[in-house]
Structure 1
Amino acid sequence: MLDRVLVRSRAVPPEPPRRRGATSIGPEGSSFGPLRQLLAAVPWQQVGLGGVIILLAAMVPWGTGQVLAAMDRKIMAIDVAGQLVGETRTALEREAGDWLGKSFFATDLADVKADLEQRPWVESAAVKRVWPDRLLIEIREKKPLAYWNNDKLVSRSGQLFAPANRDVAGKLPLLSGPDERVSEVIRMARSFAETLTERGIGFAGLTLEERGAWTLTLANGIEVALGRDQVEERFERFLTVYEGRLAVRADEVRRVDARYTNGVAVQWKNLDPASGAKS
């Protein structure tokens, strides 16, 4: 006889009623909901376009380099332009000749410019490329104002330079003095020259000695000692005496000393020592 065994199982709660039209999501699917919403909000078309633009921008330098490399040639000629007095085109072209045969694009034009501006006469040099294989160099020379200390020139901008062919500057005044006081000498020389020119008297030079004394030289060769003090006043006193009494005998005058308080001392050419006579 079989024994009956009663097996009791735990009660399983009934499933909650589903809303009509609703879909149940299991535990696995619920964690991707926010991610899907985030991805859906991304403007993928704009992102793709931006990526393409960035890629193209990154390729531009590389592409440019490839194009220049394909187009590059050697420098075959150098042309020099500018109004030249102290320099010659042949000498400048020879100076720049080190760049012949070098890369048209890779050559640093600043190096060419710097090298040319080391030459004494060259104030500035402008260098540019001329396709396909030439360099054009435009030279601006220093404009000499006067000779300086018998071995240099001084430009209108106050630069001292010492070219080997300084005599090509032609007839210029002679200025002398310590190099560090060149600006002062130029300023004084311009002042004297302007006043003399207004009165029809030629200016030939000006000297500033180490101890500070000034000596003026006229175009007719007369030297005028002005000393260290009251230089402008002494210069005006000399002009008064010169125009009043000495101009008519200028070819007889060797030197005028204007360092006196009342008048000047004149040294005549027919007298060896200074006469000491005051005018």
Structure 2
Amino acid sequence: MSALRSGQRRRAGAPGGAWFGLPLLVDGFVLPRLLRRPVRLLARAGGGELAPPRFAMTIATGALLGAFSLYGAYVGGHFPAMVQSITARTGFAVDQVRVSGHKETSEIDILGQLELDGWTSLIGFDAEKARERIAQLPWVQSAAVRKVYPDEIEVRIEERKPFAIWQHGRELAIVEENGNVIAPFSSERHAMLPLVIGLGASEKAAEFIGKVEGYPELASRVKGYIRIGERRWDLRLENGVTIKLPEHGEVQAIEDILAMDKESGVLSRDIAAVDMRLNDRLVIQLTPEAALRRNAALNEKPKSGKKPERRI
């Protein structure tokens, strides 16, 4: 319609109007539809046809000061805190946290990593940074943090699986199947995990324990798996007997000692260790008490076997 009127003005020889001394209409040119209304309003304001509101200058001054304040807060790094404060007071303050998937990790530790306070706004809350902080907790393998509007945070975690207790020196730690340390051993609920001892034991334990568990009659009696020189294993039984296995042929050595135990009960005797490292012989080490009894018995034999004296 404006274009038609402009055309009529041109045909009638009427002036096209001006805004601050500049002509608004040019021969052969039609403004796009989106710009026609703003240009007409500006032209009317420039021509004095529109009267400003009563408090226009006050409003404009306030808007200008507010814009400068927002810009200053943004440049100074205070804008996120401002957003948090405003949105928290308008119904978006975090009021509830739901945690799932945790067994070893306490909710207190998880809440601490969320870094919430009484006026944390869900709008300004950074869920990704919170997820990264939670993932740093010892037992957490992966974590997911989700914002549920208007005032709830949902945390789902997946924890590492304990495999064994690793003793290195005087320290005890819970390790995964691949040997990675999870956390120091501090809870009796993990006391039933296998105990592996020695340098390199945590990395090699899974494969070796799998071999021993193939023989339940032996695995049920094992108290500790000892790694010797990062080359071979010893088995410490519940009754204190140590089975010294060779570096190679562990399975065959286990089958041999189990066959002997079934035949003569060697693993239930008063002995300290059974050495299976030699291919051609079995070496049994007695306990100190058994060694004393054996020496005493050997010393008694000559006396009991001495022929009585003949008197003439």
TM-score higher than 0.5: yes
Structure 1 residue 152 displacement after superposition = 1.1
Alignment of 1:167-178 (within 5 A): 167-178=188-199
1:135 aligns with 2:153: yes
1:38 — aligned with what?
A: none
1:159 — aligned with what?
A: 180
2:223 — aligned with what?
A: 204
TM-score normalised by structure 1 residue count: 0.61
Q: Which consecutive aligned stretches of 4+ in structure 1 deviate over 6 angstroms post-superposition?
A: 69-72
Amino acid at match of 2:192: K
Shift in alpha-carbon separation, 1:164–1:77, aligned structure 2, 3 A = farther
2:214 — aligned with what?
A: 195
Shift in alpha-carbon separation, 1:263–1:81, aligned structure 2, 3 A = same
Q: Identity rate of aligned residues, in percent?
A: 22
1:214 — aligned with what?
A: 233
1:231 — aligned with what?
A: 250
- Unaligned 5+ segments in structure 1 are 1-47, 49-68
Structure 1 residue 129 displacement after superposition = 1.7
Taking only aligned residues, the RMSD between alpha carbons, in angstroms, comes to 3.3
Amino acid at match of 2:196: L
What secondary structure sits across from 1:162 in the alignment?
strand
Shift in alpha-carbon separation, 1:157–1:227, aligned structure 2, 3 A = closer
Matched pairs, number: 205
Shift in alpha-carbon separation, 1:101–1:228, aligned structure 2, 3 A = farther
1:184 — aligned with what?
A: 204
Shift in alpha-carbon separation, 1:146–1:105, aligned structure 2, 3 A = same
Question: 1:154·1:160 contact (CA, 8 Å) conserved in 2?
Answer: yes
Amino acid at match of 2:257: F
Shift in alpha-carbon separation, 1:229–1:199, aligned structure 2, 3 A = closer
In 2, distance between residues paired with 1:137 and 1:108?
13
What secondary structure sits across from 1:256 in the alignment?
strand
What secondary structure sits across from 1:271 in the alignment?
helix
1:241 aligns with 2:260: yes
What secondary structure sits across from 1:207 in the alignment?
strand
Deviation sequence 1:184-212 (CA, Å, 0-9, x none): 221111211x2231667433321222351
Shift in alpha-carbon separation, 1:157–1:111, aligned structure 2, 3 A = farther
In 1, distance between residues paired with 2:239 and 2:216?
13
Amino acid at match of 2:226: T
